[in-house]
Amino acid sequence: MHEVKVEQRQAALLRWFDAHARALPWRRVDLGGRRDPYRVWVSEILLQQTQVVRGTFYFERFMQAFPDVQALSTAPLEAVLKAWEGCGYYARARNLHKAAQQLAERGFPDTYKGWLALPGVGPYTAAAVSSLAYGEARAVNDGNVRRVLSRLWAEAHPSEAWVQQRADELLDRARPGDWNEALMDLGATVCLPKSPRCPACPLSAHCAAFASGEPGAYPAPKRRTPVKTVRAAALLIGDADSAYLEQRGGTLLGGLFGLPIEEGPPEEALPRLLKRLNAVSPRHLGTVNHTMTHRQITLEVYAAEAPVALEPAAGRPLSRLDHKALALLDRADVQGRLWSVPEAEGVD
């Protein structure tokens, strides 16, 4: 790309950003004009899989619980997961907690390579934090950046390497953090996926997709990963306030608590659940449909009675799936009720 055109694009986008930058809580600066790397880091991890509108609420809630890296590093993992509740992709919270323990001991790195060495930090996050908090000339590459650059060059199938190369070429090295945020803001508010607002775009005069008359055709849709259908059964023993909960394992919901669940058709999964918990008197409460990563879960929820200890559901970190399941029970019918277990009854 001709150097003059690069400078024209940089000047046009940064003028627009100076006038239209979003006022977001993680963009606050101190009296010296510096960003808090802790707030920048947490926000970038949070926004990986969470839209800004929802992410702002979750960010403020997380900051209230853990205002600095020391507070996060010394908190129990369960408390961190509870503060992350509703954000999904809970491996992010586990990695935040693990990385915070390293940061509290060693201090914050001030380079891309230093951030890249932390748990849960990939090239995008390392570039974002090092450029925003420390002014390092690193170009970010996320979905918004990919869409903007794909349209500027009318590249229908931009590879990761292609996007990174174009981002590196365009990066304003005098204002790398502002430039990165300007590209992301443009993609989030103007260069929209389905209905780009080209008349409001500061780069429309430099945009090959706009010149083509079909900016929305770029980039071409990615092939979607097939969604796996999962059927399962869950037991609600207790009520929506106090229930029997089990701690989840695995990488997706590891560390969270929830209703006991068995995968499989309900006619197979329910008997296994009843036998495992020595539960009786099951009654169907309803069905929960929930999408999780690349899985579409259909959960049949049953109330039952079992000789198990109940605990306040509000005190444990729960997934949205479990919140939906708990909401099926009519609290007015069972408020304060304790399940009784008939003697000499069981399930084979």
Residues annotated as part of the active site: 44
- Residue 286 belongs to what H/E stretch? strand 280-292
Q: Which of 244, 185, 48, 21 shows the shortest CA–CA distance to 58?
A: 48
* 305, 341 Cβ separation under 8 angstroms: yes
Residue 195: φ, ψ to 5°: -135, 75
Q: Give the count of beta carbons closer than 10 Å to the beta carbon of residue 19.
A: 8
* 108, 36 Cβ separation under 8 angstroms: no
* 219, 163 Cβ separation under 8 angstroms: no
Q: Which of 116, 128, 141 shows the shortest CA–CA distance to 177?
A: 128
State how far the Cα of 180 lies from the Cα of 124, in Å rounded to an integer: 11
* 3-state SS class at 100: helix
State how far the Cα of 105 lies from the Cα of 88, in Å rounded to an integer: 28
- Residue 295 belongs to what H/E stretch? strand 295-305
Cα radius of gyration (the chain): 25
* 265, 297 Cβ separation under 8 angstroms: no
Q: Which tokens go with 149?
A: 């650059």
- Residue 275 belongs to what H/E stretch? helix 266-277
Sheet arrangement for strand 295-305: 261-263, 228-236, 295-305, 280-292
Torsion angle defined by CA atoms of residues 247, 250, 252 and 256, in that order, rounded to the nearest 10 degrees: 10
